[in-house]
Structure formats: C-alpha cells, structure tokens
C-alpha cells in the first residue's frame, strides 16, 4: 500500500477505528518504518494531553461572565454609537465553548502536521552557502514548489526553498534485486494507476525466475488494498507464481471475503481451486460463501469446489 495511505491510518489506529485487516497491515508497516512509529507515539501523546485537559468549573464560568459584563459597561472611552442599547450578549461566546474550541483546534493542527508532514530526510529544502551561485540552466532537473523565506531584497539577498527532481534511467534484468525493489515501490506507492499496472505486469512476467519475499509482500498489499480493479486482478495472477503458502492462501481468502468486485472473488475461487483447496480454513470460507455471497454464480462456484474437495 502507498506509504501516505498507511500514514493516514495512524490516528485511526490510536483511536481503535481500524478493522482487523487494516490493523494487521498497518502494524506490519510500523514494524519496518521508524518514521511512522514516531508519528504513532506523537498521536498517542496528543491523546493523553487531550484526555487530561480539564473543563472550567461552573463557578469559574460565572465569575468570568460577571467580570466581562462589568468590563463592557465601564470600559473608559468606549462609544457604541446608535447601537449602544442593543443586547449583544449573544455575540460573546462562553468561556467553556472557547476553551473546547481552542483544544480541538490545537489537537487538529498537531494531528494534521503529524499525518501529512514530510518524511524525515526527504524535503524540498536545498541549502546553499552564501556566495555559491545556483545553476542558471538546470538541464534535465525539474524545479518546482518554490517557497520564499525572505523576499526582502533591501539587503541584496533573497532566501527561498525549492524542490528539484532529476529523472533516473534504469535498464536491467527483471531478476535483478535492485530492479525488483524499484518495481515494488512503484506498485505500492505509485500515485498513477497506469504506473502501478505496468509495474505489476512486469512482476507477473514468466521471465521472473526468482521473485523474493518483498515482491510477494508488495503483490499481496496490492491485491488487498489497491483501488484499481486491473491492478488487483494482475496481482492475483502474479501471486499464482508463488508457492501456495499461508500468506498466499490468506490473501486469496481476504479477496473472497472482502473484495466488492464479483470478478475478483470469482478469480480468487479459481486460484484456490487449482491449489490446495482441501485446506480446512479454505473449505470453511467456501462453505460460508456458498450460502451467504450475494452473487449467485459465486455461491455456485463455491459449492462446486467444496463438493469436489469432499470427493477426493
């Protein structure tokens, strides 16, 4: 799954709002990502602070209102003009409302900065020493997202940050571990569904001789979580090149239980049917689907596989 999506789940994990599968995927990611673990700790600290913030007492609220009324009546030099006789009490918020609003605003700002902040070690800021001339022609470097820190040129200087990206050309065997690593990143973190689809197509090629566990993990993540039907379908196809172990089995059962696309659930049944479909957990899920699935053909296919397994 894309790293940004997993980061957005961190507050939901802290407030126990994730289902079991989402929690499993995020906890697996947290075990490998120090930056996300730190963000989870920060969110939990915010939880603790927000939970211990007390509310003002009724006596304190009443005293604050009384002093506010006195101050408004006796403020020197205040002239209200033609609306001085109006009742403006409805314009003045209660201290309790203001306190709660401030707390909510502070929590929201901190949580937002935790979830959407730039990952450590990656950022747009490029610092150049004073007197070093920046290149006028960046060549094939793409410059963008300029942010001015100091645009006052009265002292002859200007300060700003920018993002610079340079394309990198890669050519190599699909069995090269470095190439596979880049393809798994493209599959799980690419923003463009076309890029993710091309990446998963390469990872499912017959030329891939020794796909490693990282490739399998990326395919399972795409199969479970990718928003594009074509990417999920190709990831399912690619996983059939791996031994039918518990990870692959659980991924297929996840699709069968959770994917909203009937074609994906049918493809999962077909993949199970060609493998060890006599696995007790597989049969249990198929027996459930033959009665409960909303698609008539899926109920029929599940029943056929169960009956075939019982005859073995």
Residue 135 binned pLDDT confidence (cut-offs 50, 70, 90): very low
End-to-end CA distance of the chain: give it in Å, rounded.
Answer: 38
Q: How far is CA 214 from CA 2, 193, 194, 243, in A?
A: 15, 20, 21, 14
**Residue 306: pLDDT band with limits 50, 70, 90:** confident
CATH assignment of 177-310? 1.25.10.10
pLDDT tens-digit readout, 245-274:
889 989 999 999 999 999 999 999 988 876
> Residue 119: pLDDT above 80?
no
| Cα–Cα distance, 230 to 298 (Å, whole number) | 20
Largest CA distance in the chain: 97
- Cα distances from 283 to residues 225, 256, 292, in angstroms, run 24, 12, 14
| Mean pLDDT within 94-112 | 53
Q: Where are the domains of the chain?
A: 1-75+92-120, 123-128+138-167, 177-310
Q: Which of 12-21, 138-147, 230-239, 272-281 has the highest mean pLDDT?
A: 230-239
Query: How high is the pLDDT of residue 71?
Result: 56
The pLDDT of residue 34 is above 60:
yes
Position 153 scores a pLDDT of 78
Q: Report the predicted TM-score, pTM, of the whole model to 2 decimal places.
A: 0.51
**In sequence order, what are the beta bridge partners of 164?**
143
Helix axes 213-225, 20-30, angle to 10 degrees: 150
User: What is the pLDDT averaged over residues 119-135?
Assistant: 42
What does the pLDDT read at residue 234?
92
CA–CA dist 138, 164 (Å, integer): 9
Write a three-state SS string for 78-132. Answer: CCCHHHCCCCCHHHCCCHHHHHHHHHHHHHHHHHHHHHHCCCCCCCCCCCCCCCC
For 190-203, how does the pLDDT look when each residue is reduced to its tens digit (9 = 90+)? Answer: 888 899 999 988 88
43-63 pLDDT, tens digit per residue, is 887 767 655 545 555 665 566
Q: Which of 89-93, 147-151, 205-209, 298-302 has the lowest mean pLDDT?
A: 89-93
Range 284-304 average pLDDT: 91
Plot region of 145 (φ>0 → left; ψ -120 to 50 → alpha; else → beta): left
Read off the pLDDT of residues 69-79 as tens digits, 9 standing for 90 and up. 555 555 444 44
Confidence of residue 104 (pLDDT cuts 50, 70, 90): low
Q: Cα separation of 106 and 103, whole Å?
A: 5
């Amino acid at each position: 799954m894309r790293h940004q999506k997993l980061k957005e789940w961190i507050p939901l994990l802290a407030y126990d709002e994730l289902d079991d599968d989402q929690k499993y995927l995020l906890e697996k990611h947290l075990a490998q990502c120090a930056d996300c673990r730190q963000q989870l700790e920060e969110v939990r600290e915010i939880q603790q602070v927000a939970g211990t913030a007390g509310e003002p007492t009724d006596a304190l609220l009443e005293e604050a209102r009384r002093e506010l009324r006195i101050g408004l009546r006796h403020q020197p030099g205040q002239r209200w003009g033609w609306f001085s006789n109006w009742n403006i009490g409805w314009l003045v918020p209660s201290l309790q409302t203001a306190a709660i609003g401030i707390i909510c605003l502070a929590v929201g700002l901190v949580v937002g900065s935790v979830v959407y902040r730039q990952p450590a070690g990656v950022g747009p800021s490029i610092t150049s020493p004073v007197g070093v001339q920046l290149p006028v022609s960046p060549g094939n470097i793409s410059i963008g997202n300029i942010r001015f820190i100091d645009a006052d040129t009265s002292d002859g200087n200007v300060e700003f940050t920018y993002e610079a990206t340079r394309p990198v050309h890669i050519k190599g065997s699909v069995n090269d571990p470095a190439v596979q690593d880049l393809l798994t990143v493209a599959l799980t973190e690419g923003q463009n569904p076309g890029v993710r689809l091309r990446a998963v197509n390469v990872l499912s090629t017959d030329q891939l001789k020794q796909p490693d566990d990282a490739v399998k993990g990326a395919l399972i993540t795409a199969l479970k979580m990718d928003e594009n039907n074509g990417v999920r379908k190709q990831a399912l196809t690619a996983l059939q090149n791996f031994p039918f172990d518990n990870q692959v089995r659980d991924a297929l059962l996840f699709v069968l239980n959770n994917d909203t696309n009937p074609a994906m659930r049918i493809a999962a049944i077909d993949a199970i049917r060609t493998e060890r479909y006599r696995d007790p957990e597989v049969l249990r899920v198929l027996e459930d689907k033959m009665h409960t699935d909303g698609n008539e053909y899926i109920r029929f296919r599940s029943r056929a596989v169960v009956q075939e397994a019982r005859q073995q």
